Amino acid sequence: MMRVYFIGTGGGAPSKRGLPAYLVRRDGFSVLMDCGEGTQITMIRNSLNIMNVNVIAITHLHADHVLGLPSLIQTMGMYDRREKLYILGPEGLRDLLNETFERTYFAPSFPIEFVSSYESPSITVRPFKTCHVVPSQGYLVEEKDTANLDAERLRREGVNDWRVMRALKEGKEVAWEGRVLKPEDYLVVKRGIRIGYTGDTRPCESVINSVKGVDLLLHDSTFEHGVDASEYGHSTSTQAATVAREAGVKRLGLIHISSRYRDTSEMLKQARRIFPMSFIPDDLSFLSLRA
């Protein structure tokens, strides 16, 4: 199971919605996508342990997406963090952090590694190109597929040798009583959960192609239909829904909501006319995803 915490679902200027921050958790592993001002305060006040964050992925260097990061890292240092922190982001992010640390007389007490992508035994985090007004990238957080052996079928066929079962599970062919057992015939693959996050973007083919078939797409929906969102490098609710439909995703979360909208009911109606599985998350809500 993967769980997504919607820490801040607004954008641009703070409102009743916080600035962009989305936490994805799986079995004690946490990825924080974007870190707007106030992210660490919201997390700490709501018992979301900042020390458990393993990877931070920043989409671009506009202030509302990144200015919470230097203070979050400094607090991790004050809390005596020792575990390595992995950071993904656009060019310039490392310089921004190093300059901030120098000017604020801070040196991290734990290792920080800037990476272009991240992979663990169970999770991958990798960027894809988005279309904003400054260099930007979205992220795919993907649970790796798992394969379970159909031991019952093997037993029905008279195969009870654990060594044969282990070899098949390892993907090896096994000679057995005059025939060859192929792993693909006995392995049941369970597809992992896939989440796509765009950050700020206008609708574009690179996003559609990158997020095809994801279980959850979090897409820029700064404005209602009728606003020329592309002028600002953003999307409307109907544009986000069209991307979701064309990409064949399972669910669409409309995010980066402009502070001009205190009531988002019309925005949601517009999206659902195009893509019925749309929703607008509230700050501090969460969504559990199961394969």
Euclidean distance between CA atoms 49 and 207, whole angstroms: 31
Euclidean distance between CA atoms 198 and 19, whole angstroms: 15
b/e burial code for range 261-280 (CB count within 10 A of at least 16 → b): beebeebbebbbebbebbeb
Q: Output the CA torsion sign for 86, 90, 95, 101.
A: negative
List the catalytic residues. Answer: 64
Tokens 């019952």, residue located: 152
Beta strands in the chain (DSSP E): 2-8, 21-26, 29-33, 53-57, 85-88, 112-114, 118-119, 123-129, 137-143, 146-149, 174-176, 179-181, 187-190, 194-197, 216-220, 252-255, 278-279, 286-289
Euclidean distance between CA atoms 30 and 94, whole angstroms: 21
